[in-house]
Amino acid sequence: MSQDPELLRRLLRAKDRMDGASHEEWPVRRLARVSGVSEAHFARSFKDAFGVPPHRYLLTRRIEKATTLLRETDLPITDIAFQTGWQSLGTFGRTFRDVTGESPGDFRAREKAAQHAPDQVPVCILSAAQRPDLTIAVSEKRRQTGGDTNESEESEVP
């Protein structure tokens, strides 16, 4: 579907702002203001442009950031959860497992054991390339894998 490039450029600005501060809260009102569009239009326009709803996009950025911190620092997992924007350790752990398929602790142990020396690739680009490809909602993913049925506190609104 065709979208106005001027609008897309402004939607990209909202995406960039989430990228730059994914630990912050990004209600639709705030994102719509960045893009200069109405709240009613924002979520739909964003999804049309980038293929995922804005909130799910934010989730992938938070998980990406958390995986980087788990891999490259010795910060306690609780600190990582709060630094990357989650309100509780439980929500973080559950969402992380739903998205990546393993717990933050298991992920860290496995990554630390593996060899990593890709320092010829700019790290910011490498990090983006390893972002989870979340093509379905976390709740849907959870249903499909038959995992626990607790509803995530990270509801997909917007």
Interface positions, 25-64, toward another protein (CB under 8 A): 49-50
With contact defined as beta carbons under 8 Å apart, do 154 and 95 qualify? yes
| Whole-number Å distance between alpha carbons of 138 and 91 | 12
Residue 146 binds to another protein (criterion: CB under 8 A) = no
Q: How far is the CB of 150 from another protein (least distance, A)?
A: 35
Contact segment (CB under 8 A) with another protein among 58-66, 94-102, 121-129, 150-158 equals: 121-129
DSSP state string for 110-137: HHHHS----TTS-HHHHHHHTS----S-
Q: How far apart are CA 19 and CA 24, in angstroms?
A: 10
Residue 148 CB, shortest distance to another protein, in Å, is: 36
The CA distance from 75 to 147, in Å, is: 28
Q: Which of 115, 124, 149, 151 binds another protein (CB under 8 A)?
A: 124
81 belongs to the binding site for another protein (CB under 8 A): no
Q: Let me know: does 68 contact 34? Beta carbons within 8 Å.
A: no
Among 74, 119, 133, 151, binds another protein (CB under 8 A): 119
Site residues for another protein per CB under 8 A: 2-3, 5-6, 8-9, 11-13, 15-16, 19-20, 49-50, 119, 122-125
